[in-house]
């Protein structure tokens, strides 16, 4: 019997990205020349929606864009992907969100975002999408939209029995009443550092941070560590996942691909270890291409990567 298509709901941001690649990232007051400008779809919510769609999920994406050129570009990009746009509001009173991204030759980046219409994504927008959200198995949201909208989406999904995932990006404080509605929390090092108040710089400090964050509500905490891999912690288990070795050219959207793939794995009913490995592979593949949405891999690409890459060891602790 064929596996049912996984269903994922995403409530989040949609931007247009302007990306400049250069030899190195500028310091304060420094001008770096020689770069090339690329424009592409972006925004954490939109990146995650496109990523989950390419990974085989049926995606319900709730977002807001401006009634402007970038907004039209965004919707046309989703349509080309085959991603539904019925839950995306076109707001005539504000501009579409824009991100300015600088990338160096090693793939590291600096990002500045003008949130625009994302700041107006409302609780009402979530309420209008309750039927579509309720039909999903997993809900994913992030922090480029108002925290009240994040809270409403998580609370509704939790009450409907969905698995809830919060990618707490960009780094900011998250109220405990929001964390209480989260099943899976997926920060990177800087986001985890902001949440726990001490440096998260390696697997050992990530495990410590994960254990602290578990006391605030989530059932699982996944901390991505870039070139050091990732850890996932629950009350009963710690999974340590070393990184896949790839030639990285742009880290933009790697975390979005990871979170989206994690949701697809959860929606497929996979166990944590398999889901983590799938998510790690999706994130690694994303770093090998330039841009946010253009770099996101397909399901076949991730499975092929996993088949042709040596198995990544993982270890359990405390009963894992």
Tokens 């996942």 found at:
241
What pLDDT was estimated at residue 3? 60
Tokens 């994922």 found at:
8
Rounded Cα–Cα distance for residues 35 and 185 (Å): 36
Rounded Cα–Cα distance for residues 194 and 187 (Å): 10
Write down the catalytic residue from 68, 91, 125, 256.
256
What pLDDT was estimated at residue 310? 62
* pLDDT string in tens for the chain (320-residue length): 346 799 999 999 999 988 898 889 999 999 988 778 888 888 999 999 999 999 999 999 999 999 999 999 999 999 999 999 999 999 999 999 998 989 888 878 888 889 999 999 999 999 999 999 999 999 999 999 999 999 999 999 999 999 999 999 999 999 999 999 999 999 999 999 999 999 999 999 999 999 999 999 999 999 999 888 899 999 999 999 888 888 887 777 899 999 999 999 999 999 999 999 999 999 999 988 877 788 899 999 999 999 887 644 433 333 33
Lookup: tokens for 267: 């929606």
The pTM assigned to this predicted structure is 0.90
Lookup: tokens for 68: 């402007």
Provide the residue count of the chain: 320
Listed by start position, the domains of the chain span 7-24+37-308
CA angle 53, 57, 62 (to 5 degrees): 65
Rounded Cα–Cα distance for residues 184 and 114 (Å): 28
**Residue among 96, 126, 115 at smallest CA distance from 10:** 126
DSSP states of the chain: -PPPPPEEEEE---EEEEEEE-SS---TT----S-EEEEEEE-HHHHHHHHHHHTT-EEEEEEEEESSHHHHHHHHHHHHHT---TTEEEETTSPPEEEEEEE-TTS-EEEEEE-GGGGG--HHHHHHTHHHHHT-SEEEE-SSS-HHHHHHHHHHHHHTT-EEEE---SS----HHHHTT-SEE--BHHHHHHHHSS---SHHHHHHHHHHHHTTS-SEEEEE-GGG-EEEE-SS-EEEEPPP----S--TTHHHHHHHHHHHHHHTT--HHHHHHHHHHHHHHHTTSSSSGGGPPPHHHHHHHHHHSPPPP-B--TT-
Are 290 and 250 within 8 A, CB to CB?
yes
What pLDDT was estimated at residue 124? 97
Are 65 and 119 within 8 A, CB to CB?
no
What pLDDT was estimated at residue 313? 47
Sign of the C-alpha dihedral computed for residues 106, 108, 112 and 118 taken in this order:
positive
Sign of the C-alpha dihedral computed for residues 22, 23, 24 and 28 taken in this order:
negative
Known catalytic membership, residue 177: no
For the domain made up of 7-24+37-308, give the CATH fold. Answer: 3.40.1190
What pLDDT was estimated at residue 251? 78
Rounded Cα–Cα distance for residues 215 and 290 (Å): 38
């Amino acid at each position: 019997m064929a596996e049912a298509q996984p269903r994922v709901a995403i409530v989040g941001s949609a931007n247009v990205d302007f990306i400049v690649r250069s030899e190195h990232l500028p310091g304060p007051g420094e001008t770096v020349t020689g770069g090339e400008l690329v424009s592409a779809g972006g925004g954490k919510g939109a990146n995650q929606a496109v990523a989950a769609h390419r990974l085989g999920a049926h995606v319900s994406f709730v977002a807001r864009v401006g009634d402007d050129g970038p907004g039209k570009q965004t919707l046309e990009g989703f349509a080309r992907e085959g991603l539904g746009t019925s839950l995306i509001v076109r707001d005539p009173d504000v501009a579409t969100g824009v991100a300015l991204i600088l990338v160096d030759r090693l793939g590291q980046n600096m990002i500045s975002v003008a949130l625009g219409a994302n700041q107006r994504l409302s609780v009402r927008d979530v309420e209008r999408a309750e039927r579509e959200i309720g039909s999903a198995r997993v809900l994913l949201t992030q922090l480029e939209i108002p925290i009240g909208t994040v809270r409403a989406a998580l609370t509704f999904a939790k009450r409907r029995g969905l698995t809830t995932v919060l990618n707490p990006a960009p780094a900011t404080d998250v109220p405990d009443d929001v964390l209480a509605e989260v099943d899976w929390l997926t920060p990177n090092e800087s986001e985890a550092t902001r949440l726990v108040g001490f440096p998260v710089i390696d697997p050992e400090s990530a495990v410590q941070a994960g254990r602290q964050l578990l006391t605030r509500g989530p059932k699982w905490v996944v901390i991505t560590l870039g070139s050091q891999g990732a850890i996932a912690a629950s009350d009963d288990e710690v999974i340590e996942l070393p990184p896949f070795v790839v030639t990285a050219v742009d880290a933009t959207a790697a975390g979005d691909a990871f979170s989206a793939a994690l949701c697809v794995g959860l929606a497929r009913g996979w166990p944590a270890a398999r889901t983590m490995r799938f998510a790690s592979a999706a994130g690694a593949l994303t770093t090998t291409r330039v841009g946010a949405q253009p770099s996101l891999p397909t399901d076949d690409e991730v499975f092929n990567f996993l088949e042709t890459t040596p198995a990544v060891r993982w270890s359990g602790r405390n009963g894992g």
